[in-house]
Structure formats: structure tokens, C-alpha cells
Amino acid sequence: WGLFDPEDSKTNAASGGITRVIQGGNIVEKGACSLTLIRRGVLSAERAAAIRSRQESNAIQAGDSYSAAALSIVFHSRSPLIPTFRSDVRIFLVESSSNENETIAFFGGGADLTPYYLVDEDITMFHTMYRDLCQATQEACDNPEDAALFSYPTLKKLCDEYFYLPARSEHRGTGGIFFDDLPASKPNAVKFVQQVANTWMPSWLPIVDKRRKLRFSDQEKQWQLLRRGRYLEFNLLYDRGVKFGLANANPRVEGVMVSAPPVIAFEYNHHIEEGSEEARIMEVLKTPKNWV
């Protein structure tokens, strides 16, 4: 599979984190699991405005104190026939100074695939697992308003919209689910987030088991490297977590960048042969489809 690098752990009174990296294997070329904790942070005006823009409440203001925690996993496979897998769960808590010091807490997270070649049955299986999880959570809700928070079509659409490169008019991968600003006080919210994390490995490992022994060509590997370039492009230009982590001096900058692929390629104006497998996946990346 790969070898674990020495532990990267840097902690102070306000924040800290642990990152574990596995790399150099025949299956995982590079993978990482990161736990990050921030305590007693102060919201900048820009950050507060960004949060308010996604919520109906105006209670969150610049200068409010916040805490956050996140657990994330990414696996970049060596084989271009095995998709890259990314997932995270996180919680953000704000002490609102404008609302009698009320603590506002909300969850975020999700899971998604970035395949290099389309194997429809693999992607359908992946989406089915998260669809079933969302439906089970909805069935446990007491009212339609709460159930709507866990709608698979909604979370799938949010994932497609988030992992998008607007300059290229293409999506990073074939998606999954994505959620932000899920009120932590809502019934079933905590259980849903726990179940999302519990579904991570069962949704990816069966794909690995089916594809790990398949041979691939140098051309297929080169295509993987080109698509990894798009992965890094998205991370640096559009990913909110990366942009937040790189906004100021950060003792854990290596942890912020750990989700980057190990090796990438950029090629000017790469030509894709019509009717090829590369062209087929590009059709899906341009126009996402419903897998279940």
C-alpha cells in the first residue's frame, strides 16, 4: 500500500494538528489523514462576510471569537484506473457578540471521487452508498424541514457546484456529497456527520479491490498526471479550506497543502482524441450526470 512518514504534529495554546502521510506504495502513491483544531480565533471582516453570505442570519460579525475542528482524508492512487478519494468532516463554532454571546455551531463535510477513467459501476456504487445514507437520515427526521437538510439530490448538486473550475468550465471529478453550514443543533445532525465518516472507506475500498491488479499504460498514467494538475489548480484557486489556511503565516502550512497530488503534469493545449476514453470522461466533467 505505502509507507507512513514520521508524524507531523505542531501544537500551541490556540491551535494544533496532526497529519499522517502514507506514500510510495503500489496502491497509494500519496495519502494523508489530518486532524486540525483551532481555538480562540478571531473572525476577520472578510471571513465573517463569507459566512454570512451562506446563511440567513446576520448574527456573525467581524471580531467574533471562533473555534473549529476538522478531520480529512485524501488518497491519490498510483493507478489511473483507481479514482482519487477525498473526504472530510468539520465543525465551526462562533461566539456571536451581537446576539448576547450566543454560540452558533454548524457542520460541514462530504466525500467525492476524482476518477481519471470512467467505470460507471464504480461511480454508481459510490453514489448509491451516500444516497442511502442521506435517505436513512431523512427517514429519521420528524419534519420535512429538517429532512430537507439531508437531501441527497441537494448535497450532490452542492458537491458538483463546489468542485468546479469556472475558468475551464469543468468539474474536478464525478462528485459525491458536500454540505456546509449544517446547524449542529438540528436533530440527526451529529449522527449524520458520524455516518458520513463511517462510510468513507466502505465507499472507496471496494473500487480499489476491483481495480488494483489491472495493468495500465504510460499514456493512461500521463493522462492521470494531467488531470492531477486540474486537482491542484482547484485546490490553490478555489478551495475555501486551502485559501483560509494560506491567508496568513501558518506553522502548519504543510498540513494545509498535504492534499496536493504527489506528481502532476501541465501540458499546453492538450489534445483529446475524439471518441477516446479521455473524451468520455471529459463529457461528464463538463456536464455532471445523475449516477443513481
> Quick one: angle between helices 152-162 and 120-139, nearest 10?
130
Contact between 10 and 17 (Cβ < 8 Å): yes
Q: Dump pLDDT digits (tens) for 180-232.
A: 989 999 999 999 999 999 999 999 999 999 999 999 999 999 999 999 999 99
DSSP letter at 5 equals P
DSSP letter for each residue of 78-145: SSTTS-EEEEEEEEEEEEETTTTTEEEEEEEEEEEEE-SS--HHHHHHHHHHHHHHHHHHHHT-SSHH
Q: How far apart are CA 16 and CA 252, in angstroms?
A: 8
**Distance set, CA 39 to CA 60, 122, 158, 165 (Å):** 17, 40, 28, 32
Q: How many percent of the chain have pLDDT more than 70?
A: 93
Collapsing DSSP states into helix, strand and coil, what is residue 263?
Answer: coil
pTM reported for the whole predicted model: 0.90
Q: Dump pLDDT digits (tens) for 129-176.
A: 999 999 999 999 999 999 999 999 999 999 999 999 999 999 999 999
Radius of gyration of the chain (CA): 19
| Torsion, Cα of 36, 40, 45, 50 (10° steps) | 40
